[in-house]
Chains A and B, each alone.
Chain A
Amino acid sequence: MDSIIQRISQGKFWPFHGGIHPPEQKKITNEKPIRQLPLPKQLILPLQQHIGRQGDLLVKVGDKVLKGQALTQSSNPMAVPVHAPTSGTITAIKKSAIAHPSGMSELCLFIDVDGEDTWRKREICQDVSQLSHQQIIAKIANAGIAGMGGAGFPTHIKVNTKPDINFLIINAAECEPYITADDLLMREHSATIVDGINILDQLLNPAFILIGIEDNKPQAIKALQQATKSLEKINVCVLPTKYPSGGEKQLIKLLTGKEVTSGTLPISSGIVVQNIATCFAISDAVINDTPLLRRVITLTGQALAKPQNVWALLGTPVSYLLAQAGFTRQENTPVANPPVTNPPVIMGGPMMGFSILNEQVPVVKTSNCILAPSKTEMPSAFDNNANEVECIRCGQCADVCPSQLLPQELQWSAKAKDHQQLAKLNLFDCIDCGACAYVCPSQIPLVQYYRIAKAEIRQQQQLDLKAEKAKERFEARKLRLERDKIAREEKHKKAAAARKASMNKKTPEAGAAKSAVAAALARVKAKKAAGKQDSTSTATNNEETKSSSELPIANDEALDDKSQVKAAIARAKAKRLAKSTAVREKAVTNDEETKSSDELLVADEEESKQSNSADDKKAKIAAAIAKAKEKAKAKKAQATELAALSSEQNSEQNSENSSATSAKADDKKARIAAAVAKAKAKAKAKKEQQSNPQPSNEEIK
């Protein structure tokens, strides 16, 4: 650890790989002081100006707001509030183009400035050392401070951390060409900045505080050295100018020789990096109770008549700043293919800044520069990658890559959408610095390809996540259905068992039913005997009629061919039989028929009563089914009994019965059909018998 300080004090650093030296162009603005601008007419405040979530709105349209009044509040640790940069009225809350490379629209607050600049009540803190850590962190969080270097990470999260911090690195490198905002801030407000650093020191208690600053800012270095003279802990480290030494990871490597492991934050290596402008904002917030309302922004580029650093209120539209800086449109300059009618205006530096969509785009917490280049100054900002040719693998990109990636191989894989290979080549370690594209002789917009590939991979990951979830859902459903099926089967099994049990129980009942039938038969017999008739033939006839009259009730199905044929045979047979029996007794038959069927119904009722008395409900349902089946069985049994009886009678009856049994064995339908046929035949036979009984009698003989 001490060796690091020794090396630093000797002016030695750990160089990072690659890097470039683009034209600095800082002279355009670094010799003029920071200018105070008159209040703009309108401010457009995006609700989200940082990484994380947007806060919850506290105001509505028409509200009068005071300078410094919170407009949103954070309900989430990653949310950072925004404040009214000056007093005025909220005129609208709607979507508007924000400072984003995609030119997308987000929810913005529109404030009509009243010009009075009235402050809300402020509590100035006299002695910061009296405040507890939690109080300071709360002050930082409530002041809406997010990293002002570019990413906009909520500062209160960065400073609210575990105690063993080795290095607090203050990033004052400002390696991007053109930008001098931090340079000027350091020169003019070094005391406030050092106050901010002291607050951070109090919070984090790091072993060392290193301020990394490039050697192209001699006045700022001097100012910082002057301000930190009495503070042993703070080292002002003057770094050689090289882009991108201000990249967080590059700066850490430069100052400490350590590399932040890929995919982790510097904090995991005991390092916290804060931007110099953030230190200023922290000091302002904690000591003066001034939330983050304004920032220094460099207005530069040859398209501006009066390039200068200005204090811009957050939410100031770019159009206002450009007007203040004397933006001249160069419309009639002939430009590359395809012709560019509008000049580019870049928010941020020439290496990592993005061109903004229109002049309505407001300044946000992370905006440090508005660059309006002229065509001669930055021709590549005007052409639409028209000069792109094939990669010749010259490897210059790999030589300058600060992350030691292989941009040329990444580019091929990105074009081929080979996401696996991109992951292998560590695409996500790319910091978008643009050094590769800057040196590429084939003028390939490498960073653009990487951005697209990164977005595609992220989207793919989200889709994969969705698919994974859908799969899980599907699996769960399948499992549930499986479970339900098993449960159902179990239930059915139980029910079947219950049915069986009840059937076994009711075997005597069935017997009783049978005996009831038998009793009925006996009664019929007795009646017949009383009627001086042949008892056997009567019984047979009676039974047959009954079964045939009962079966049609269930029958409502269509007949198939087979059963039709069978039915035809059965009909023919039945006809003959019916005739023969009908000849012998006419009147008695009809009486008997009705009686016996009545008796059967009584038996059924008895049965159902018995089943009702069965133990539980489940068993009841099962019993009902069983009953139905039993009924059919009982009938069948009757039929078989009859068949046995009739087989003794004559050959014709026998044959009829056998056909009936075969039909029964075949299928129910056929049997039913046969029964229908029989019934019909009977009805016919009755008619015939009434008309001419004699011939039919002869026929039998």
Chain B
Amino acid sequence: MAFWIASSPHNHNQAETSALMRLVTYALFPGIFAQWYFFGWGNLIHITLAVVTALISEFIVLSLRSKHGNKSTNKHTLSKQLFDGSAILTAVLIGICLPAIAPWWIAVIGSIFAVVVVKQLYGGLGQNPFNPAMAAYVMLLISFPVQMTSWQPPLSLMTVDLNLSNTISTIFTGFTSEGYSVEQLRADIDGFTMATPLDTLKTNASLGLTVYETMQNQIFGAHFSLGWEWINAAFLLGGVFLIFKKAIAWQTPASFLFSLFICTFIAYSISPDSSASTMFHWLSGGCMLGAFFILTDPVTGATSTKGRVIIGALAGLLVYVIRDFGGYPDGVAFAVLLCNMTAPLIDRYTRPRTYGHQPSITKQEEGK
């Protein structure tokens, strides 16, 4: 009797990449729920649009690519690749990042760009140098600045009741069923357009207002930034869950948040009038989403522990610099892309010392 021949190890912990992706997607749910609670249906619609578009584009690219592959295994691997969760996760992240009442084609273009250009053109899963969601976000932000900055205020501050049908109508036609335009939706009772807390802070700082004066704006709410603080807290919750599940490395978010804390703390101690507090920085914009769900993307991040710490610290510094000195109110997406670029170099210089190799010897070898 001949036996089945396989290579060792014969056992496996039965972990799967698709399961990992699903877990990360589930961990986003609290944040999405908070978004829904404070900003309405917009993001859910965008997430749906993005997921559908991403799956369609992924399917098209995979079928084109698998034409050259082995026919018999095509069907099996195609469906498997399509539902490995990576495209869905990317699409969900894009949907979360978009302003709730941005037009529908923003989500569509974003997901197509993310899946086709950023992911598949570089070779598909595991081969992309940049985080697809963030690259797509930056592309949209640069190409369609008006649509991409049309953040509405939290529902509680809005003059118009933005229900599901109104949101759908706004996203697909640009007007609510009552005929309000996006601009009108964003206006407060006095007719002034309301921006995100980060945006407001930036604009007011350029007008010469102190942070304290700016904070009096109703958009900041009772604590740090109305709505956003809870959304960030929800993403933090999801992130801690992932760390607990060992789905992501804790070093990256910890190092990122610590670095941001150091930067903002220094700035706040030097000039409290022009610098927002650490808590404001932590709990506004895409801080927690970036820390736990974007920077921890294994494909585009560093792989060694040391490398993860460095990447996190660098991202924290960049986010602070862009928020305080840059042209954009939030800098998470830019910081992530810049860190993605540095990841291979950081990996190169943070290789661990192999067992039985003395550090001096390794250096000498590299010197050669």
Contact = CB atoms under 8 A, between A and B. Distances in A.
B71 interface: no
Interface string B135-150: 0000000000000000
Interface in B1-16: 1-16
A353 B16 CA distance: 23
B304 A395 contact: yes
Interface in A415-450: 424-426, 429, 432, 434-435, 437-443, 445, 447-448
Interface stretch (A30-38, A219-227, A255-263, A455-463): A255-263
Contacts of B357: 261-262, 426, 429
B84 interface: yes
Interface in A363-389: 371, 373, 378-382, 384-385, 387, 389
A94 to B, nearest CB: 19
Interface string A195-220: 00000000000000000000000000
A351 interface: yes
Interface stretch (B105-113, B123-131, B273-281, B282-290): B123-131
A353 B352 contact: no
Nearest to A348: B8
A435 B11 CA distance: 10
Interface stretch (A5-13, A115-123, A339-347, A558-566): A339-347
Nearest to A426: B354
Nearest to B248: A394
A364 to B, nearest CB: 17
Nearest to A372: B3
Interface in A237-259: 249, 253, 259
Interface residues of A, number: 80
A390 B304 contact: no
A259 B11 contact: no
A438 B11 contact: yes
A406 B303 contact: yes
Contacts of B11: 22-23, 177, 350-351, 378, 380-381, 438
Contact of B354 (A16, A177, A262): A262
Contact of A262 (B3, B6, B16, B356): B356
Interface stretch (A158-166, A284-292, A396-404, A614-622): A396-404
B84 to A, nearest CB: 7
Contact of B355 (A101, A371, A404, A425): A404
B286 to A, nearest CB: 22
Interface stretch (A354-362, A519-527, A585-593): A354-362
Interface string B171-191: 000000000000000000000
Nearest to A429: B354
B124 to A, nearest CB: 7
B294 to A, nearest CB: 15
Given A342-B1, A357-B2, A443-B16, A392 B7 contact: no
Contacts of B84: 389
Contacts of B80: 389
A371 B301 CA distance: 40
Nearest to A358: B2
Contacts of A395: 249, 298, 303-304
B81 A389 contact: yes
A387 B81 CA distance: 11
B10 A393 contact: no
Given A346-B10, A359-B3, A392 B352 contact: no
A441 B249 contact: no
Contacts of A249: 355-356
A380 B12 contact: yes
Interface string B337-368: 00000000001000111111110000001000
B188 to A, nearest CB: 45
B358 A408 contact: no
Contact of A441 (B9, B19, B124): B19
Instruction: Please indicate which of the listed interface residues A389, A429, A445 has the most CB atoms of chain B within 10 Å of its own CB.
Output: A389
A103 interface: yes
B44 interface: no
A439 B9 contact: no
A344 B8 contact: no
Contacts of A439: 13, 15
A22 B304 CA distance: 23
Nearest to A351: B9
B299 interface: yes
A445 B10 CA distance: 10
Nearest to B123: A390
B76 interface: yes
B52 interface: no
Given A350-B9, A355-B10, A342 B354 contact: no
A359 B304 contact: no
Nearest to A383: B6
A408 B358 CA distance: 22
A352 interface: yes
A155 B352 CA distance: 34
A17 B3 CA distance: 35
Dominant secondary structure at the B interface: loop
Contacts of A341: 4
Contact of A392 (B81, B126, B365): B126
A435 to B, nearest CB: 8
Nearest to B353: A404
Given A344-B4, A352-B9, A378-B10, A16 B355 contact: yes
Given A261-B356, A392-B17, A406 B351 contact: yes
B20 A441 contact: yes
Contact of A390 (B6, B73, B124, B303): B124
Contacts of A355: 3-6, 10
Given A404-B354, A406-B351, A426-B357, A443 B12 contact: yes
Nearest to A23: B11
B9 A434 contact: yes
Given A390-B124, A395-B303, A350 B355 contact: no
A390 B126 contact: yes
B10 A344 contact: yes
A23 B11 CA distance: 9
Contacts of A354: 7-8
Contacts of A345: 3
Contacts of A610: none
Contacts of A399: 305
A358 B9 contact: no
A405 interface: yes
A387 B8 contact: no
B298 A259 contact: no
A132 interface: no
A389 B17 contact: yes
B298 A394 contact: yes
A359 B1 contact: yes
Contact of A432 (B8, B19, B356): B8
A425 B352 CA distance: 10
A438 B14 CA distance: 8
A353 B10 CA distance: 8
A594 interface: no
Contacts of B304: 395, 398, 406
Nearest to B300: A393
Nearest to B249: A395
A404 B80 CA distance: 32
Given A259-B356, A351-B10, 4 more contacts: A357-B5, A358-B1, A390-B125, A404-B353
7 contacts: A259-B355, A342-B4, A351-B11, A389-B17, A395-B303, A426-B357, A441-B19
Interface of A: 16-17, 20, 22-23, 101, 103, 177, 249, 253, 259-263, 319, 337, 340-346, 348, 350-359, 371, 373, 378-382, 384-385, 387, 389-396, 398-399, 402-406, 408-409, 424-426, 429, 432, 434-435, 437-443, 445, 447-448, 451
**Closest 6 A/B residue pairs (Cβ):** A434-B9, A262-B356, A390-B126, A381-B10, A380-B12, A395-B303
Interface of B: 1-17, 19-20, 73, 76, 80-81, 84, 86, 124-127, 249, 298-299, 301, 303-305, 347, 351-358, 365
